[in-house]
Each structure stands twice: as structure tokens, then as C-alpha cells.
Amino acid sequence: MTNTTHNDSLLRFMTCGSVDDGKSTLIGRLLYDTKTILADTLTQISNTSKKRGMEAVDLSLLTDGLQAEREQGITIDVAYRYFSTGTRKYIIADAPGHEQYTRNMVTAASTANLAIILIDARRGVLTQTRRHSYLAHLVGIPHIVVAVNKMDLVNYDQAVYDKICADYAAFAAEIGLAAARDIRFIPMSALNGDMLVDRLENMPWYTGETLIEMLEKAPAAHTEQSEAFRFPVQFVCRPHASDDPELHDFRGFMGRIESGEIAVGDAVTVLPNGYQSKVKAIQLGTDQLQSASTEQSVTLLLEDEIDTSRGDMIVKSAEAIEPVKQVEAFVCWLSETPLSTARTYIIRHTTRESKAKVGTISYKVDVNTLEQQATSDLKMNDIARISFKLAQPLMIDSYKNNRATGAFIIIDESTNNTVGAGMIV
């Protein structure tokens, strides 16, 4: 099943659940059934399985972590894994599921376009299911697959599955998830590989898609609605080549199109200064393009000589935005050092940075009950609605409308650590 073609698409997804839900087994199964696991790796984990006294090969060992994690018996971090089906390449963000790892889930969710939320069929919708669903929703993952796992342990009973689906649907409606997201349900046994890649004969009552069919059909990012053109300038290319008259005045604005499309001749505005010009050329390597769209890294040449540098944003003049010096956002705190309302932080938004100070903390969200609580501080894994005052203007969209221009990170200048993640309201 390994892919040898060049023209397949790519899907990034995440898995939410704890080891007890069979998350590692699910990932191991996907890798195994898509023939991603090669013989030497399989031999290695089969030896480890035997050493640990297990009869069958434990596929969850495929995602066994670092020595540092094994020694401490914890999962520290998000791991990234890869497989391909021949028609699509997949990047899995595998995040530990416990409450104290909210920050890891948010990290994994930030790049995912689909989330698999695992539920143990014996235990049904739990607090952690709610937490995972809320976070997937908060971080704007458009497609949710609710995987009711361990169906083999409830005799493949349809009534159990139906009850869990109904419970989940009720909860999803309550938090606004059902209205905003595409939610699908699937019964499975990751251990036996039932309904992942293969459809075994245990659940004839389920006629929906297998997991891999759902993954194959899920829309890739940025393909579902039209978006405004946003081009944060990363780097300005000025070769100053005195021996080449053509390059003497070359001024290329390099960056990745975060959303939307652009074509030669389009009227553009460079923010925050508001200079207007037209697109003279679009280059990708040595190729001259007539147009370019989301996620392409290109170089834009403009008709006019405009003083533009890293951190500026090129937009279509018809879709210009007003630079702001204050933002309101949901912030997930990532650092062991709590947020200080007295300190000045750095906010990095697209390729731009600004010093920032906390304005007000409206409330904190309990990720288990989803209750809003008044708070004056923010500790690691907390999520709160906060406003910031900015030293420099930023060109923002709401996160709901644009996951690239609606997101920022908070950096502690003294350590240079990334201490917070913000989603603009």
C-alpha cells in the first residue's frame, strides 16, 4: 500500500485519548495495517512484547516513548508519526490525554484538520471525552471522528454503541460543537483491527465507513470555504547584484500564503502602513506563476518600490484589515511559571512581534465542566479569556475565520520560552 505517486494530498490529524482507551493500539494498528511498520521494527517490538510476558505482539509498543519517559512512567510530549495509503500522506499528532497535558493537546490540535476522539465502549462518555472535545473545538479542528473503541469487550453490542453516540451528540449540542463541526461516529476494535482498515464480520449492523475511509475522504485544510488573502512577509530578498542589471533593483517579498489566493495584477495593500500597489510577478523557485494560493511559499514582486520588511502583511486591497493595538483571545498557558499581569511579554503573530501587557482576565474555563470561573492568575494548562495591550499594531482576523492570522504565541523574553498560545476572539 505504500505510495509511490507524487500527486496525493496530505491530511494532518490528531488522536485524543489515554493509553487506557487504546490510543497507542489504534495508532499501532493504523501503521501496521497500512504496511508502514517494517520487519525490523516489528521484530523489535515482538521481542519486547515477549520480554514483558505477552503472548501476542503489542502494537502499542510502536508508540513507546523516550527512555526519559519510560524511566518516569509518563508521556512528556506530542509525538509525530507518518503513514501513507497510496492516495494520501498522513501526519498524526499523538498527544498524551491526561488532564495535566492540556497544553500538549492544544499543541497537537493546532496543526490538525481532523481529531479522532477515542471512547472506551465499556466506560462511555467521560469527563476526559468532554475535555478533549472542548479543546478540539476551541482550537478549531473542523472534523471530529468519535471512535467507540473496545467493541470486542462489549460483545459488539449495537445498543451500547447507539447509547454512547446519543450521549455524545447531546453533549456536543450543549457546547455548540455539533453546530460548528462535522462529527462522525464509528464503532471499532483497534486491538483486532476491526473497522480501521479492514471490516471484519463482528459488526454487520454498522454499514458506515471504516476509519481509513473517513480519513481518505476528509477534506484537506483550506479547501472548504473561500478565505481572504493573507501574506505575512517573512524575508525580503534584495540581491544588490551589481553585475546583473536585471537583479539590481530586485526586491522580492518572500513568505507563505496563509490563506486565500493571489494573481498577477491584483491590487494589494501592505499593512500596517497601508501602501497600495499591484502584484507584478509571483515566483516559486525559477517558476513564474500567474497565480498562487493557500500554503504555497512564494516570492511576490510589486509594481511600485515600497519599503516593506519582515512582519508586514500583504493583503488584497479589497480585503484589507485595520491594524489593532489590542487583542482579546482565549489563551492556553503552557509554562510552569504562571502568567504575571505585571510583566511585559512578547506576542508573536504570523511573522510579526510586539511587546504586550495583560489588560484584563475575564474568566478561566474549567476544561472538565466547561464552567467559567473568575480568576486573577493563570497556571500551566489553564485556559482563560484575556485581553492584551500591544506596543505594535497587529493585523488580525478572528481565529474562527482564520487559524493562521487568528493565532499567536506568547514568549517570555527572559527565557525565550514559548509560554502561552492565543486564539483571537
Partner 1 sequence: MTTTKQPLSHLDWLESEAIYILREVAGQCSNPVLLFSGGKDSLCILRLAEKAFRPGKFPFPLMHIDTGHNYQEVLDFRDQRAAELGERLIVRSVEDSMKRGTVVLKSPDEPRNKHQSVTLLEAIEEFGFDCCIGGARRDEEKARAKERIMSFRDEFGQWDPKNQRPELWNLYNARSHKGENIRAFPISNWTEMDVWQYIERENLGLPSIYFSHKRDIIMRGGAMMPANVPLANGEVINQPKAGEEVINMQVRFRTVGDITCTAPVLSDADNVSKIVIETATTTITERGATRLDDQTSDASMEQRKKEGYF
Q: Which three cell numbers stand for residue 49?
A: 512484547
Does residue 113 contact residue 19 with C-beta atoms inside 8 Å? Answer: no
**Cβ atoms within 10 Å, residue 148:** 27
Among 23, 150, 348, 385, binds partner 1 (CB under 8 A): 348
The minimum distance between CB 151 and partner 1, in angstroms, equals 27
Cell numbers describing residue 226: 473561500
Q: Which of residues 121-160 bind partner 1 (CB under 8 A)?
A: none
Instruction: Rule CB under 8 A: say whether 288 interacts with partner 1.
Output: no
Q: Is 65 in the site for partner 1 (CB under 8 A)?
A: yes
91 in contact with partner 1 (CB under 8 A) = yes
Which stretch, 58-66, 130-138, 264-272, 315-323, contacts partner 1 (CB under 8 A)?
58-66
Among 101, 229, 388, 408, binds partner 1 (CB under 8 A): 408
- Cβ proximity to partner 1: between 99 and 224 the closer is 224
Query: Does residue 421 belong to the site contacting partner 1 (CB under 8 A)?
Result: yes
Whether 269 and 275 have beta carbons less than 8 Å apart is answered as yes
> Side chain identity at 390, as an amino acid letter?
L
Question: According to the binding rule CB under 8 A, does residue 317 interact with partner 1?
Answer: no
80 counts as binding partner 1 under rule CB under 8 A: yes
Q: Which stretch binds partner 1 (CB under 8 A): 189-197, 314-322, 348-356, 360-368?
A: 348-356
Applying CB under 8 A, among 23, 29, 103, 316 the residue interacting with partner 1 is 103
Residues numbered 182-211 forming contacts with partner 1, rule: CB under 8 A: 182
Tell me: does residue 363 bind partner 1 (CB under 8 A): no
d(CA 169, CA 176): 10
Residue of the chain from 164, 361, 404, 424 that contacts partner 1 (CB under 8 A):
404
- Report, in Å, the least distance between residue 29 CB and partner 1: 17
Nearest CB to partner 1, comparing residues 111 and 210: 111
Please identify, using beta-carbon distances, which residue of 160 and 332 lies nearer to partner 1.
Answer: 332
Closer to partner 1 at the Cβ: 111 or 202?
A: 111
- Beta bridge partner(s), residue 89: 10, 84
Q: How many residues bind partner 1 (CB under 8 A)?
A: 80
Nearest to 350 by CA among 325, 314, 381, 386: 314
CB 252 within 8 A of CB 286: no
- Residue corresponding to grid cell 508502514: 36
Do β-strands 252-256 and 297-302 pair in parallel, antiparallel, or remain unpaired?
antiparallel
**Overall residue count recorded for the chain in this entry:** 425
What cell does 114 get?
481532523
CB contact set of 234 (below 8 Å; sequence gap of 6+): 254, 255, 256, 310, 351
Residue from 169, 175, 200, 247 touching partner 1 (CB under 8 A): that is: 247
Alpha helical stretches, state H, 307-389: none
Question: Least separation, in Å, of the C-beta of 141 and partner 1?
Answer: 13
Segment lying near partner 1 (by CB under 8 A), choices 204-212, 318-326, 388-396, 400-408: 400-408
Angle at 130 between CA 12 and CA 88, to 5 degrees: 15
381 binding partner 1? (CB under 8 A): no
Residue type, 70: R
Q: Does 391 bind partner 1 (CB under 8 A)?
A: no
- Only segment of 50-58, 173-181, 204-212, 290-298 that touches partner 1 (CB under 8 A): 290-298
Q: Is 77 in the site for partner 1 (CB under 8 A)?
A: yes
> Is the CB of 101 or the CB of 161 nearer to partner 1?
101
Cα–Cα distances in Å, from 26 out to 59, 146, 293?
Answer: 8, 13, 35
Q: Which residues contact 252 (CB under 8 A, 6 or more apart)?
A: 236, 237, 238, 283, 299, 300, 301
